[in-house]
Structure 1
Amino acid sequence: MGEMKKRAVVILSGGLDSTTCMGLAQEAGYDLFPISFDYGQRHKIEIENAKQVAEHYGVSARHKIIKLDFLRDFGGSALTDDAIDVPDVMNGTAADASEIPVTYVPGRNLLFLSIATSYAEVTGSQAIYIGVNALDYSGYPDCRPEFIHKVEEVIALATKVGVEGKGITIETPLISWTKAQIIEEGLKIGVPYELTTSCYNGKAEACGVCDSCRLRLKGFEEAGSTDPIPYLT
């Protein structure tokens, strides 16, 4: 019998970056096991996008959607607390690059990686793909390479496969790419960007003015391409 194909859990939000990670993991020869999180985010519409992306890659049966309602109960972020406005560049509330943005969700990536580790161990996956980016989102402490390395160390100590010396790696292929580079690479491998959303406001059509929308639009422009999703403005 032939050797079993390697497997990877992909943390899939339904956004541009995580969907690019799906494509890159497939290109790297992994069987895909996507996992998405419904944490009461303002842009919950992205869960539907994640389902469409999983279907596109033919892995809907493996796609896990995990509810983490307590993150909305905790609040503390513009994405989980309706009392905190999403930064809107057009209205003069753009995020200050010197501060951690109000769209940071306390503990989010730590939680996501912990749960993804459990799914990886159960499925016999050798890797976890996550679309963190330290260049465009340098204000988020849980997107830094130092954080990823420390979580890998914890996984090695806290899991059966880690103790047995097999281990689970955290793959962050986008961590030092610009948004334009991410899009260029994704287009080369046929990433279905028309199925994704990046807008923090969670409407059927992207707002075009929140920080995330503007970063995405700028990326497509610099990549010499047109964003295939609809915008309000």
Structure 2
Amino acid sequence: MNKFSNNDRALVLFSGGQDSTTCLVWALSRYAHVETIGFDYGQRHAIELTVRPTLLEKIRSFSPEWQARLGEDHMIDLSLISQLSHTAMTENIAIEMQANGLPNTFVPGRNLMFMMVAATLAYRRDLNVLVGGMCETDFSGYPDCRDDTMKALQVALNLGMATHLKLETPLMWIDKAQTWELAGQLGGSNLIDLIRADTHTCYLGERGQLHDWGHGCGTCPACELRARGYHQYQASLPK
């Protein structure tokens, strides 16, 4: 586990998935106080909201330091997103590419709204860092996951709120194998096992069989990315 070195106060966008769990532990290794925020936006894989409380309790048990730093969890109703969008993430339709070159799992404005709501809560809670799992290395081409989008959003939020929020995206420039590796560096094999068994990433909400890389349908883009990264990570470990 990384040595604590920062007195800032962070709010982590925590969905209950692999990436956000890794980001949460990353934040706990760096910040004096960490809170979490989750969003119910009518997602097809709403099972992720069910696994969140158990994940948080297990993460608290990893060390007395994490227990002391991990504060309140906030769940926000953003169901209006599903009312505005028509996507495979919010409706029971087949996952496919669209004419604009983006997969129909892209939910327009989702990450922008997540960050705006998180910034509003952070303002009230006196938190000065927002942490999100956006990534431009292994992703589906979502424009709201890009580094320039997050940098522009940080400027807009600080101008609009006359504040000094910092947006951190620790996974932005690493691939999924490196995300598994980062989790191992932060919490060892116990954290790897927790992410495998207790997080949820599958777009279809499948929790049945526990594969070596975790639960999921095994065929949706999120499962394929997670599985490939896990196998690459395992192959890189010393024999």
Q: 1:231 matched to which residue of 2? A: none
Q: 1:63 matched to which residue of 2? A: 73
For residues 115 and 85 of structure 2, the distance between their equivalents in structure 1, rounded to whole angstroms, comes to: 20
Q: 1:168 matched to which residue of 2? A: 165
| Percent identical residues | 33
Q: 2:63 matched to which residue of 1? A: none
Deviation at 1:13, TM superposition (A): 0.8
Q: 1:215 matched to which residue of 2? A: 225
Tell me how large the CA RMSD over aligned residues is.
2.0
Count how many residue pairs are aligned between Structure 1 and Structure 2.
208
Q: 1:229 matched to which residue of 2? A: none
Deviation at 1:61, TM superposition (A): 6.2
Matches for 1:141-160 after TM superposition, within 5 Å: 141-160=143-162
* Correspondent of 2:180 among 177, 180, 183: 183
Q: 1:36 matched to which residue of 2? A: 38
* Correspondent of 1:129 among 131, 148, 164: 131
Preserved CA contact (<8 Å) 1:35 1:66: yes
For residues 53 and 94 of structure 2, the distance between their equivalents in structure 1, rounded to whole angstroms, comes to: 27
TM-score by length of 1: 0.83
Preserved CA contact (<8 Å) 1:76 1:106: no
Q: 2:142 matched to which residue of 1? A: 140
Preserved CA contact (<8 Å) 2:131 2:168: yes
TM-score by length of 2: 0.81
For residues 90 and 8 of structure 2, the distance between their equivalents in structure 1, rounded to whole angstroms, comes to: 35
The structure where helix makes up a greater share of residues is 2
Question: Amino acid of the residue matched to residue 36 of structure 1?
Answer: G
Question: Amino acid of the residue matched to residue 31 of structure 1?
Answer: H
> Which contiguous aligned blocks of 4+ residues in structure 1 show a shift greater than 3 angstroms?
57-61
* Correspondent of 2:199 among 192, 196, 199: 196
CA-to-aligned-CA distance 1:31-78 (integer Å, 9 cap, x gap): 211000010000000012222222223378611111111122223210
Unpaired runs of at least 5, structure 1: 88-94, 226-233
Preserved CA contact (<8 Å) 1:138 1:144: no
Preserved CA contact (<8 Å) 1:38 1:65: yes
Deviation at 1:187, TM superposition (A): 1.6
